[in-house]
Amino acid sequence: MTKEERELRNQISSLKTEARNLVAEDKIEEAKTKVKNKSGCTRFIAYFQSYTNTYAPIEYLRKVFFEAVKHPDIVALSIATRPDCLDGPVLELLSELKPVWVELGLQTIHERTAAFIRRGYPLTSFEKAVKDLTYMNIDIIVHIIIGLPYQMNNKLTIESPKEILETIEYLSKCPIQAIKLQLLHVLKGTDLAGYVDDLEILSFEDYINMIILCIEHLPEHMVIHRITGDGPKSLLLAPLWSSNKKKVLNTIHKELRLRNTWQGRLFCVTDCNHTTKEMS
């Protein structure tokens, strides 16, 4: 590894560590000030985002979760984790923290894509987690990534609109409450950066079209927490257009109006009810 690569990895690690330290009182206050200056909010959600936030001894999890939730300005917790890191004691702890949302990083339903990105668990693990969380009456957010690559016949390609919609339609029929639609970012110092010259990157126009299709296929009752994302500009290799987050959001809103379309326009109620019963 070159000196430049080591520095880049250290920079990425530093960014992750800052997010992980949220539970400390001063970090909560720091985050509150930042959000309040942007939006004027006075009540907040403590978001445990980086890493797998249920992969630790139960005593430690209880300490950090309750430390956050006892703050007078924190009204809920949002905890991101892996579906295969939700055993019985963790589920019991989560049920004590209401209101709490659990965010599951599914990314895709397609196994060949999951294998390439080294997701590390089968779709059946996700389905078990959804079933267990639903039984505990815990709200579920699912995170997916649009533009993921996979290898086929020794060639790198990205998921097609049809494949992306298969993930969307699958989730639209699951008993979940919310979804995050994340754009794939290629960052310096990551394994994916080694493929950037061979990787097809979604254009701005293609991403806008894809997001609108996803929104149309999601049921009206499902909360959409995210429709894009912006990686650190100092690390971002592609797509560079994603750094202008305001333009992306404004264009999505504009195109929804111009096309006279909306969330749920192409959602199939019959199939949804059938699949939800199967997973219950």
Three-state SS annotation for 103-122: EEEEECCCHHHHHHCCCCCC
Q: Are residue 154 and residue 252 in the same domain, yes or no?
A: yes
Q: Are residue 139 and residue 179 in the same domain, yes or no?
A: yes
Q: Looking at the domain assignment, is residue 95 inside a domain?
A: no
pLDDT at 20 over 70: no
Q: Looking at the domain assignment, is residue 212 inside a domain?
A: yes
Report the predicted TM-score, pTM, of the whole model to 2 decimal places: 0.85
Q: Are residue 54 and residue 121 in the same domain, yes or no?
A: no
pLDDT classification of 35: cutoffs 50, 70, 90: confident
Q: Looking at the domain assignment, is residue 204 inside a domain?
A: yes
Of 32, 66, 81, the domain-final residue: 81
* CA–CA dist 101, 103 (Å, integer): 6
pLDDT at 2 over 90: no
Q: Which among 153, 233, 236 has a CA at the least distance from the CA of 201?
A: 236
Q: Are residue 74 and residue 211 in the same domain, yes or no?
A: no
Q: Are residue 195 and residue 255 in the same domain, yes or no?
A: yes
Q: Are residue 247 and residue 148 in the same domain, yes or no?
A: yes
Q: Looking at the domain assignment, is residue 90 inside a domain?
A: no
Residue 12's domain spans which residues? Answer: 1-81
Between the alpha carbon of residue 194 and those of residues 1, 190, 202, the distances in Å are 13, 8, 17
Report the chain's mean pLDDT, rounded to a whole number. Answer: 88
Which residue in the block uniquely carries the two structure tokens 């892996």?
A: 82
Q: Are residue 115 and residue 159 in the same domain, yes or no?
A: yes
Q: Looking at the domain assignment, is residue 93 inside a domain?
A: no
pLDDT of residue 13: 44
Q: Are residue 213 and residue 175 in the same domain, yes or no?
A: yes
* CA–CA dist 66, 58 (Å, integer): 12
Q: Are residue 183 and residue 267 in the same domain, yes or no?
A: yes
Lowest mean pLDDT among 6-15, 81-90, 127-136, 266-275: 6-15
pLDDT at 235 over 80: yes
DSSP code of 221?
Answer: T
* CA–CA dist 199, 202 (Å, integer): 10
Helix-helix angle 204-217:161-172, to 10 degrees? 30
Number of folded domains in the chain?
A: 2
pLDDT per residue as tens digits for the range 127-153: 999 999 999 999 999 999 999 999 988
Q: Looking at the domain assignment, is residue 194 inside a domain?
A: yes
* CA–CA dist 144, 113 (Å, integer): 12
Q: Are residue 127 and residue 198 in the same domain, yes or no?
A: yes
pLDDT classification of 32: cutoffs 50, 70, 90: confident
Of 48, 81, 114, the domain-final residue: 81
pLDDT per residue as tens digits for the range 141-194: 999 999 999 998 888 999 999 999 999 999 999 999 999 999 999 999 999 999
Q: Are residue 240 and residue 111 in the same domain, yes or no?
A: yes
Q: Are residue 70 and residue 119 in the same domain, yes or no?
A: no
DSSP code of 198?
Answer: T
DSSP code of 179?
Answer: E
Q: What are phi and psi of 73, to 5 degrees?
A: -95, 0
